[in-house]
Amino acid sequence: MNWKPGTMVYPLPAVLVSCGKTEDEYNLLTIAWTGTLCSNPPMCYISVRPERHSYALIKRDMEFVINLTTEEMARATDWCGVRSGRDYKKFQETGLTPIPSAVVGAPSVGESPLSIECRVKEIVPLGSHDMFVADVVNIRANEKYLDPATGKFELSESHPLVYLHGAYYALGQKIGKFGWSVEKKTTKQ
């Protein structure tokens, strides 16, 4: 069966993008059209419809923060995607905590396991959305997910939230790690 061309690359992270420079204009925007563009230098993108309230803030300030979300944040994540910052103060309405970012003026979300501070390099008009291509200028890891014994950041312990064709899901169990398919088997003696 063939379908009309569409956006079927799933699952995607369901993220909250924070923007704005002052407390009275801070806003949150739910986005699934986001991802990594380059490792070195670290770059990512978000795609936003020009009519969204956050679009003008991001375009004016040329910066934003991608905040990963969790199962616990699912209701707030969905709510921020269906309500406009023109009409609501989303941090207040959801109970999420705006915290100062280290490098950019936009706030980070205190409850997020990982906040990725971004500075826009280029805006690419694509059709229904414009893509904000950005340099990653700082990452804030929530210490709640640091393993005290190893010092390793355990993002999986945050129970990440993903978006899959109109619905939100939790991730399943780990089935392998990068490179496991070609690892040499050790023999037991």
- CATH architecture assignment, domain 12-181: Roll (2.30)
Q: Summarize pLDDT for 49-65 with one digit per residue, the tens.
A: 999 999 999 999 999 99
118 pLDDT band, cuts 50/70/90, is very high
Average pLDDT rounded to a whole number, residues 3-19: 92
Residue 186 has pLDDT above 80, yes or no: no
Phi-psi region of 127 (alpha: psi -120 to 50; beta: other; left: phi over 0): left
**pLDDT for residue 184:** 83
CB 118 within 8 A of CB 101: no
CB 41 within 8 A of CB 30: no
Q: Give Cα separations from 153 to 12, 119, 136 (angstroms).
A: 21, 24, 18
Q: Summarize pLDDT for 85-114 with one digit per residue, the tens.
A: 999 999 999 999 999 999 999 999 999 999
User: pTM, whole model, 2 decimals?
Assistant: 0.93
Reading the block at residue 110, the tokens are 């205190």
Residue 130's beta-bridge partner residues? 48, 125
For the beta carbon of residue 59, count every other beta carbon within 10 angstroms: 15
Domains of the chain by residue range:
12-181
